[in-house]
Structure 1
């Protein structure tokens, strides 16, 4: 046989053998890959400079925190080996676990920690509370660092381990030196997964790959605490064009897990015996109509109160979750119902019959009838789309001139940062929602802060709200905490910090060959596997 014919025959044999092996290889690779549909498009990876939940969820795969909250919302050591606190809670000393590495192979040191915490303290409300008490944040050696405060801060561990953004993520020092008001452009972390930048297509796909040198803690994983054991080599986030497409892909086995299926499609999904459907998080969510307090007309509290007098939480909630009354409840509060310090103090404006005519009268007295309102609505997220459409109709009934800007969640995330007038790219109202786990008290509740320029988007300002938050931090016991929260709730309604549109539960859905999915305010990927 001539050499050329021999090579040709050998190649044919390899192709044939490969063809027989391909299904087995593909099946094995499929078992090691999780295909996940997130709640929205991933337009950023910076959960310090931004607060979108989808960004936080992605960032938690790539970066670690010093402490992490468990399912009881108790902070447990994560990157830290442990800590010591002085009796007056003014000195906190921490030691890192040995063997921590970044994805580029560099050892995690306290220089990285200090730089990361300094960036985070600028953006986060708890971080700002620490910064306001800070005498020094110092690296004592490569694994030991210390906070020295001029005022007690007993909630330090929760601040370092909480789940809501801005999150105290630990980054390499060179990345942590990024201006806290600008997005990072390098995504090197020390978490259980690497971010595959080359395969990131915003609006379509994001890919995470297992980090082989990640030192798994020995404890069982529990929310953001314990051993984050990744049982997949690869996690693919697939962003479909709409919720119906995501549901179809789940039924067809093209994806494994959908974070927030459209409520209208849940009955159909429940009938499919290859799927599991359950409430994603019993602590639920609070719908949010967010006002811009800097720009007219909502720089006038009378305009904000007029909207509150007229809005129907039932309209909003039925738009979000349908007619299923088990999935929502009215909420004359800014706090999570069913939790220890829940209060309705000051919430009468959301109780009783809705009064559009009285609201219009108030707007007339303020000279605001017919004012133009730029309502920016993310149409690619079912929650914000539903709420935005209800608000558009309500504003028209109140006599406003409504500029309904239909866009995507990534654009909303960028536009809501702008303090300019709406005619120059700013806004008057946008919709979002807040996880119930973030609204149990003022500590993780970024959206409740009313510190003006330092507050969350909308920049509300109320000395009464801020005094209540300060009183909560200084509270010596549970009774004082409860009293402070009642004062915060009343002051937040007086100021109309934002408009709560109701409390609601959402589903998640996954293929039955996927196990380990838990209930949480965010998708917990560690411990999940396919069979």
Structure 2
């Protein structure tokens, strides 16, 4: 897999490796199929009141925890409550939820203050922080604390006694799991475990992983870099398992100089552009696409508002803005993730683009998990703080204002996000999006939010890219999905 699995709590952490761990161990109430339609997963059926404010959900038969006890509505309610304090869509839903109450062991009712269909969108969201259902006793863990018990009801059991951080994680088939009868389709349908055991191997070096695949030591390599493709063995196959791809982007620290100045943040965006860093990372443009839409290109809320700011580097414009802002060469620290094959070449190019525009830049190298820790530091760079971090989100995670973390502008409090932008207008507009009565209204509000994001220089996208996964001979049934899922996969001799 692409990065280290360091956090085993898929509600506390939005990291993709933690999400993929979550899909092995836990189940979800709903899921999206290959047509992007919401399908029931743990739910058998639901009913909606005539006024659209009351949803009654009934769980399907046969749901069992890995410890042999049945899944109940109390477990689900506790899981929704914990998730609703962490996930952006969960927080939005929490703000319009009056009650969540059990009816019996398999039925629960959600009562909303306003009618909205976003409840099903939120319960079915595939990435970011999916609504993984946990036992009540586990879900009662405060969302700010990592869980310590990993009992799920999904198709695989996490072998906690075999977990070696930085080395491997092991999962075994849950013999009592009852799949849905529908065929597997993206994240929906029957989750049939066709192998007895999965070993998630940690290999930080992309070439080492590729050589292990060629020699038959591993069966699945999540991401193969374009420049390593010629080294693949002829009997190895590649598969683009993800039609939507990832948005790469960077976000500023708004609390500390010099990026506490909006003009300096704008200057950085004008300095960077998209072509140079993407070309350095992916080579041929067949592996990436320029895209300045905050909510993704080809997705429901794509907008061209102010995208010229991010698409093409303009160092002269950047220098003029720096002069206007009174920038005096204050150092900026750019966090450089070195262990992610899909991002490791981007930070050095960003640093060079910024230097050419007149910025003083320090490149601070680290692995992804260290970056997640360091970006929590709100102090100045002299005290271990930072100025810019780079990350990637699956396009299904950024496709609207309710789920896009990179637009979060709620300050440095509990509802804030790394960078700690404080723009109340974005908070207000996001609430307006939630309550908007028509799709036309939502599209208008999303475009307005995009303009504010660029005007305030909260963050900027670096375009999109799709990743190729490599499979050993005999590996079949890998599903096209926005996450790496391992049900439906079989391994021949």
TM category (shorter chain) comes to over 0.9
182, 191, 195: which one aligns with 1:232: 195
Shift of 1:276: 0.8
Moved more, 275-284 or 300-309: 275-284
Does the 8 A contact of 2:185 with 2:479 survive in 1? no
> In structure 2, what is the equivalent of residue 29 of structure 1?
none
Q: Structure 1 length normalisation: TM-score?
A: 0.88
- The 3 A distance-change label for structure 1 pair 261 and 200 is same
Residue 42 of structure 2 corresponds to residue 79 of structure 1: yes
Does the 8 A contact of 1:210 with 1:230 survive in 2? yes
400, 410, 413: which one aligns with 1:451: 410
**CA deviation vs aligned residue, 1:19-72 (integer Å, no higher than 9, x gap):** xxxxxxxxxxxxxxxxxxx11111111121111111101111111111112222
340, 364, 381: which one aligns with 1:405: 364
RMSD (Å), alpha carbons: 1.8
> In structure 2, what is the equivalent of residue 303 of structure 1?
264
Aligned residues: 490
Shift of 1:131: 1.2
Whole-Å separation in 1 of the counterparts to 2:377 and 2:44: 40
Q: Structure 2 length normalisation: TM-score?
A: 0.95
Does the 8 A contact of 1:43 with 1:203 survive in 2? yes
> In structure 2, what is the equivalent of residue 212 of structure 1?
175
Q: How does 1:370-389 map to 2 (within 5 A)?
A: 370-389=329-348
- The 3 A distance-change label for structure 1 pair 273 and 222 is same
- The 3 A distance-change label for structure 1 pair 118 and 105 is same
- The 3 A distance-change label for structure 1 pair 424 and 46 is farther
> In structure 2, what is the equivalent of residue 3 of structure 1?
none
Residue 386 of structure 2 corresponds to residue 427 of structure 1: yes
Q: Secondary structure at the match of 2:251?
A: strand
Whole-Å separation in 1 of the counterparts to 2:281 and 2:482: 18
Moved more, 142-151 or 355-364: 355-364
Q: Of the two, which has the highest radius of gyration?
A: 1
Residue 27 of structure 2 corresponds to residue 64 of structure 1: yes
Whole-Å separation in 2 of the counterparts to 1:267 and 1:338: 31
**CA deviation vs aligned residue, 1:159-216 (integer Å, no higher than 9, x gap):** 0111122221111122112121222222111111111112212221111111111111
Whole-Å separation in 1 of the counterparts to 2:173 and 2:200: 14
> In structure 2, what is the equivalent of residue 95 of structure 1?
58
> In structure 2, what is the equivalent of residue 341 of structure 1?
301
Does the 8 A contact of 1:376 with 1:430 survive in 2? yes
Whole-Å separation in 1 of the counterparts to 2:30 and 2:236: 34
47, 55, 77: which one aligns with 1:114: 77
162, 167, 172: which one aligns with 2:135: 172
Shift of 1:351: 4.3
Q: How does 1:97-176 map to 2 (within 5 A)?
A: 97-176=60-139
Whole-Å separation in 2 of the counterparts to 1:384 and 1:340: 26
**CA deviation vs aligned residue, 1:225-257 (integer Å, no higher than 9, x gap):** 111001011111111130000111111111111
- The 3 A distance-change label for structure 1 pair 361 and 267 is same
Q: How does 1:193-272 map to 2 (within 5 A)?
A: 193-269=156-232, 272=233
Q: How does 1:14-29 map to 2 (within 5 A)?
A: none
Q: Secondary structure at the match of 2:104?
A: coil
Shift of 1:505: 1.8
- The 3 A distance-change label for structure 1 pair 412 and 232 is same
Whole-Å separation in 2 of the counterparts to 1:424 and 1:199: 38
Q: Secondary structure at the match of 2:5?
A: coil
Does the 8 A contact of 2:251 with 2:406 survive in 1? no
Q: Secondary structure at the match of 1:122?
A: coil
Structure 2: gaps of 5 or more residues: none
> In structure 1, what is the equivalent of residue 454 of structure 2?
493
Q: Secondary structure at the match of 1:382?
A: coil
Whole-Å separation in 2 of the counterparts to 1:379 and 1:142: 48
Q: Secondary structure at the match of 1:68?
A: strand
